[in-house]
């Protein structure tokens, strides 16, 4: 029976690094079906958002989310792992914001008995997949993982929808909002992302994921009906500051 392994990495098909990682993961989990989500080089903001979406939304309970973005850590650093409530494993280095979006919905984050290195991620995946008895070591202090960066672009999907790290829209449905990302400003309306008129720029709450203690964690998205919000804002990169300013209603 196959086992789903998601790899979030800043390399992908066509790269030798990707081919080598696929080979090593095939050895680590012989029945693995590996899917890769590629982010820009060293982009741990987008990686962190992708990791949380893949780990905390619906899917096979035995899947593994492995991440390898940016530096694998200094010599001697150990990779980390955590198991979500439904049994999903997340494995990778504690680098940048890679754990920031997911950590609050994990019971705990621990170091593994695997030091950072070229082939270390596949070895770490082997240890958690086979439930190596000495794989899990000391817990990682919550303070060693930075909080989600405030008011920035978190992820841009292939359709050009821009997910931010902002938790909720600045007003109720129908509110008009000025949005600024970098040097580009545009006017948006707060609405349901599934009811955006063609040509309209909308601010809407994303689907998010269920919280460990109940409720859902969602982030505001910018969606352009029939077009690309990313193009409207000149292709913003994850980490770019987002400024929202609710427009005052004119007096009648």
Q: Are 99 and 204 found together in one domain?
A: no
Task: Please write the tens of the pLDDT for every residue from 4-61.
Answer: 999 999 999 999 989 999 998 988 888 889 999 999 999 999 999 999 999 999 999 9
Q: What is the pLDDT of residue 119?
A: 74
What one-character-per-residue DSSP string does the chain give?
--EEEEEEES--TT-HHHHHHHHHHHHHSTTEEEEEEE--TT-HHHHHHHHHHHHHSSS-TT-EEEEE-S---STT-EEEEEE-TTS-EEEE---TTTTTTTGGGSS--EEEEEE-STTHHHHHHHHHHTT-TT-EEEEPPGGGSPPPPSSBEEEE-TT--EEES--S-SSSTT-EEEEEETTEEEEEEE--GGGPPTT-EEEEE---EE-TTSSEE--EEEEETTS-HHHHTT-PPTT-BEEEEEPPPPP-
What percentage of the chain exceeds 90 in pLDDT? 67
Phi (first) and psi of residue 51, to 5 degrees: -60, -45
- Which of 62-76, 136-150, 205-219, 227-241 ranks highest by mean pLDDT? 227-241
What is the mean predicted confidence (pLDDT) over 166-174? 91
Residues 102 and 28 in one domain: yes
Q: Are residues 23 and 107 in the same domain?
A: yes
Do residues 33 and 63 both lie within one domain? yes
Beta-bridge partner residues of 83: 89
Kindly report the CATH number assigned to the domain that includes residue 210: 2.40.30.90
> Do residues 162 and 232 share a domain?
yes
The pLDDT of residue 71? 61
Residue 230's domain spans which residues? 153-246
pTM: 0.92
What's the domain count of the chain? Answer: 2
Q: Are residues 130 and 232 in the same domain?
A: no
Same domain, 102 and 193: no
pLDDT, one tens digit per residue, over 92-141 is 999 999 999 999 999 999 999 888 776 789 989 988 888 876 678 889 99
For residue 140 the two structure tokens come to: 């990682």
33 lies in some domain: yes
Shared domain check, 91 and 175 = no
């Amino acid at each position: 029976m196959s086992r789903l392994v998601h790899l979030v990495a800043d390399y992908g098909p066509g790269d030798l690094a990707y081919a080598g990682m696929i080979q090593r993961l095939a050895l680590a989990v012989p029945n693995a079906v590996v899917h890769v989500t590629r982010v820009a080089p060293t982009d741990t903001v987008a990686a962190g958002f992708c990791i949380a979406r893949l780990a905390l939304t619906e899917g096979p309970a035995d899947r593994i989310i492995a991440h390898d973005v940016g530096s694998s850590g200094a010599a001697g650093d150990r990779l980390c792992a955590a198991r979500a409530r439904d049994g999903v494993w997340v494995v990778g280095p504690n680098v940048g914001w890679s754990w920031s979006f997911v950590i609050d919905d994990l019971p705990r984050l621990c170091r593994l008995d695997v030091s950072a290195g070229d082939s270390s991620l596949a070895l770490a995946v082997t240890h958690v997949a086979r439930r190596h008895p000495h794989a899990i070591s000391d817990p990682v202090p919550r303070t060693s993982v930075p909080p989600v960066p405030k008011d920035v672009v978190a992820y841009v999907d292939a359709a050009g929808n821009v997910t931010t790290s902002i938790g909720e829209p600045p007003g109720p449905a129908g509110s008009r909002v000025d949005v600024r990302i970098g040097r580009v400003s545009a006017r948006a309306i707060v609405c349901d992302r599934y009811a955006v008129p063609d040509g309209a720029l909308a601010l809407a709450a994303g689907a998010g994921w269920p919280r460990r203690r109940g409720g859902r964690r969602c982030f505001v998205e910018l969606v352009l009906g029939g077009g690309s919000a990313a193009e409207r804002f000149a292709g913003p990169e994850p980490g770019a500051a987002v400024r929202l300013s609710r427009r005052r209603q004119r007096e009648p």
